[in-house]
Amino acid sequence: MELGLAGRRALVTGAGKGIGRGTVQALHAAGARVVAVSRTQADLDSLVRECPGIDPVCVDLSDWEATERALGNVGPVDLLVNNAAVALLQPFLEVTKEAFDRSFEVNLRAVLQVSQIVARGLIARGAPGAIVNISSQASQRAITNHSIYCSTKGALDMLTKVMALELGPHKIRVNAVNPTVVMTPMGRTNWLDPQKAKTMLDRIPLGKFADT
């Protein structure tokens, strides 16, 4: 299927592993020019070997100033995939300030910041574009020990709606994708326990989690 991505420039956050890495690989295969953003240099090095020609950027998106330095002059971007996220799981009564702050910095604030950078560039060029935010079914369902993660993804869904409303007049489409558990390294870490997994698998008609 022709996706019309050849020659387009795409930026993917959380590109080192899991969904983000798979997204970079698919975009590269479709002929897009990809900016791959990850906080882990080793992951970017191996990704460059797999996908020659991509533009790697190593930055921790929880750091606002570092992100601005790394991406403020990234150049024209036609497609943004906000995929970077952390899942710091704690019982509600044991949630720490550190886990709360980092989760919202990466899962929500970084989406706002990177989207602003890309959207301002599109508007300045008078070009249409697309932003895809990788959310989660955790935005819709309460999950034990996921109070922070569920909250960040619920907030991301509403941010996506407001972004779509405000950026639509500029011909910038904004959508969220809300997958179930995906067996990425992060997914495997959090869902290998059969008893815990069963509560989620029982809600899935196919009876299995997604894979990358």
Q: Which residues are catalytic?
A: 149
DSSP assignment of 35-103 equals EEEES-HHHHHHHHHHSTT-EEEE--TT-HHHHHHHHTT----SEEEE-------B-GGG--HHHHHHH
Cα dihedral sign for 181, 132, 43, 155?
Answer: negative
Q: Report the first-to-last Cα separation within the chain, whole angstroms.
A: 20
Best CA proximity match to 206, nearest among 179, 187, 177, 175: 179
C-alpha–C-alpha distance, residues 147 and 10, integer Å: 32
